[in-house]
Amino acid sequence: MGLDIRVPIGLMFALLGVLLSGYGLVSDRAIYAKSLGINVNLGWGLVLLAFGIVMLLLARRR
Amino acid sequence: MTLTSIDWLLMFVYFAFVLGVGFTLKRYTRTSKDFFLAGRALPAWVCGLAFISANLGAQEIIGMAASGAKYGIATSHFYWIGAIPAMVFLGIFMMPYYYGSRARSVPEYLRLRFDEKTRGFNAISFALMTVFSSGISMYAMAKLLQILHIFDAPFRALGLPPTYLFHVSIVASAIIVLLYVFAGGLSSAIYNEVLQFFLIVAGFVPLVYLGLKDVGGWSGLRATLPTAMMHSWHGMARPETNPMGVDVFGVAMGLGFVLSFGYWCTDFLVVQRAMAADSMTAARRTPLIAAVPKSLFPFLVIMPGLIALAAHPTARATLQTTPGYAGAASISAETTTGAGLIPYKVSDTTGEIVRDQNGRPQLDYDLAVPVMLLHYFPAGLLGLGLTALLASFMSGMAGNVTAFNTVWTYDIYQAYIRPKAPDAHYLWMGRMATIFGIAASVATAYVAAQFNNIMDILQLVFAFVNAPLLATFLLGMFWKRTTGHGAFAGLLCGTAAAAVHHMSTLAEGAAPGIKGGLITVAHTYYSEMAQNFWTAIVAWTVCFVVTIAVSLATRPHPEDSLRGLVYSLTERPRDTAAAWYARPSVLAVGVLALTALLNVVFF
């Protein structure tokens, strides 16, 4: 198959990660009362970004 | 509770990528083999993740959490006793015949192994079943989104009644799935299932993390919930001493053997994913690779149910509706009481709390996951969580649609309507089948909304048709003496036996009717689940015995026609994978050991 699925997965997760962690940086602290005071947007956004980059690296290596 | 722009943005990114994958793949979809079999060119890990993702529809995500809240850890039997051993069996013992026979579908295997009538029976019942189940899950999802009231704002802005959300969510999801399956066929569905798999994990891991942290971790859960809910095998020796109302034999034979092997080893919806692999070894590794994440999934899909039940009930009002803005299924103010985060079930028609025969209010377990999302996720992560929910819904629907268009085109259209058309014609027919399969699902969703009972009856009928199928495949693959007449007679008798068993038994507390007991009530089970398990056991046994008896009385198939289709007449597949750890047998032992360990840990 001509398309390596790791490329769209990598791109999508990197983009979602940037958006989510970016929002985590600018958002009001008050909204994190729901998530037990943890800035989950920033933390989880960075995890998604890292996952996206790993996927892209794996796709490049081949 | 409304969505903010960041939530919408995340959802939009997902939709853009799903459609983008579909249209990129359109260029590579030139023959019917590309469209229906993904060109038989996909690596094992892609097929493996699609294999579980196709099954991971919204009903699985919502239903497993609901069952977790209702029965506790014992729900993991669906995974650790049910799915995993069945997936290992498919990979090690059955895949060589499915893949090696070059059959393009499960019904086509039946045609090669038995005869035309067995294939026809299976193809038609399967095609109808996929359309109906996709329609029913569409309906369930649309109704759920409506109850949540989080998508109401745009409708209010446009001056439309909130009930429009029901139509919009059905039509919008149908169009998106239609577009990407129409464009790229099975490869598009599979690629998107892999993407959706990762997205579902990304949405649910933080949910479980926050929930567990909130209830005080595993020890907090244990302190809050009753002991019976925290052990998978607690009280299973007798049906009256565990929440599921089943005993060890019912679980092992009914769920572990008949229902799970029946689903994972014969349902074309999942088997199609393994058939798309690029080699025999890859096809055999597909269900084995799938089994690894599958064995860990209870932590993602069952755990939210337990947490929702144990969480402190401070902010249960998230589901309250805006005054004066009540949808068809809105929740009245009385629902501020429930158990943990789970609200009481509210009747669609009267708007009052549903109570059982003893007047106790019923919990709406299906809301466990959605209320968890609303309770723990701030703007941003909420968008991701909802996207994960939508992704699970779409992957389940695409799974049904691709299985339907293949069975329709190869096993019904090519077999009975137009046998000798050029390949391009079947490719065109596959695309048309995608359109009318989805249209029929949408119609089914609306029928379900009108007549809930009709859908229950249909699902029951299909359960009767499916239950005996496993016996047919086991005998067909492992006993060369099995004949076409034997298989067909066994299927009919097994289906009839399932119906008779259901109509003459009843679960405790259920009223005779759709739930059983239509003829007489010869036996009362402790739960509906126990009744279902035993219906499956009876159907399997009758099919098994009748198939053997009729086969022995009819003329055997010549051995030459069975090469590659039956165990004793086929060369054993050799593991050709380069690395020792990638061999099917090694993977199988590893995943079985993992599952056994999980059973012991949560005993």
Q: What are B155-183's pLDDT values in tens digits?
A: 878 877 777 888 888 888 899 999 999 99
pLDDT confidence of residue B259: 86
Residue A32 to residue B20, Cβ atoms within 8 A: no
Min Cα–Cα distance to chain A from B286, Å: 16
Q: What CA–CA distance (Å, rounded) separates B358 from B265?
A: 41
- Whether the CB-CB separation of B277 and B40 falls below 8 Å is answered with yes
Arithmetic mean of pLDDT, B263-278? 91
Across chain B, mean pLDDT equals 84
Task: Give the distance from CA B340 to its chain's centroid.
Answer: 27
Angle at B345 between CA B343 and CA B351, to 5 degrees: 115
Residue A12 to residue B46, Cβ atoms within 8 A: no
Is the backbone of residue B255 left (phi > 0), alpha (psi -120 to 50) or beta?
A: alpha
Q: What CA–CA distance (Å, rounded) separates A25 from A32?
A: 12
Selected residue of B381, B382, B384 to mutate for chain A interface (largest A Cβ count, 10 A): B381
Task: Identify which of A19, A45, A48 has the shortest CB distance to residue B9.
Answer: A19
- Between B482 and B335, the more confident residue is B482
pLDDT confidence of residue A58: 92
With a cut of 90, say whether residue B120 has pLDDT above it: yes
Question: What would the pLDDT profile of B280-308 be if each residue is shown by its tens digit?
Answer: 888 999 999 999 999 999 899 999 988 98
Task: Identify which of B13, B25, B375 has the shortest CB distance to residue A12.
Answer: B13
User: B516 has which bridge partners?
Assistant: B513
Residue A13 to residue B202, Cβ atoms within 8 A: yes
pLDDT confidence of residue B432: 93
With a cut of 50, say whether residue B335 has pLDDT above it: no
Q: What CA–CA distance (Å, rounded) separates B13 from A13?
A: 10
Chain A partners of B317 at a C-beta cutoff of 8 Å?
none
Q: Does an H or E element contain B339, and which?
A: strand B338-339
Is the backbone of residue B482 left (phi > 0), alpha (psi -120 to 50) or beta?
A: beta
Nearest residue of chain A to residue B18 (CA atoms): A8
pTM here?
0.89
Tokens of B193: 């299932």
- Between A48 and B154, the more confident residue is A48
Chain A partners of B6 at a C-beta cutoff of 8 Å?
19-20, 23
pLDDT confidence of residue B578: 64
Most confident of B114-118, B326-330, B344-348, B587-591: B114-118
Across chain A, mean pLDDT equals 90
Lowest mean per-residue pLDDT among A21-25, B62-66, B346-350, B536-540: B346-350
Residue B10 to residue A20, Cβ atoms within 8 A: yes
Question: What would the pLDDT profile of B67-101 be if each residue is shown by its tens digit?
Answer: 888 888 888 888 888 889 999 999 999 998 899 88
Q: What CA–CA distance (Å, rounded) separates B438 from B416?
A: 22
- Whether the CB-CB separation of B114 and B106 falls below 8 Å is answered with no
pLDDT confidence of residue B565: 87
Q: Count Cβ atoms below 10 Å from residue B379 Cβ, excluding itself.
A: 19
Q: What CA–CA distance (Å, rounded) separates B29 from B7?
A: 34
H helices of B451-562, in order, are 452-466, 469-478, 484-503, 528-553
Chain B partners of A19 at a C-beta cutoff of 8 Å?
6, 9-10, 13
pLDDT confidence of residue B312: 67
Task: Identify which of A16, A19, A31 has the shortest CB distance to residue B378.
Answer: A31
Q: pLDDT-derived band of residue A37, with 50, 70 and 90 as boundaries?
A: confident
Chain B partners of A38 at a C-beta cutoff of 8 Å?
210
This complex has an ipTM of 0.96
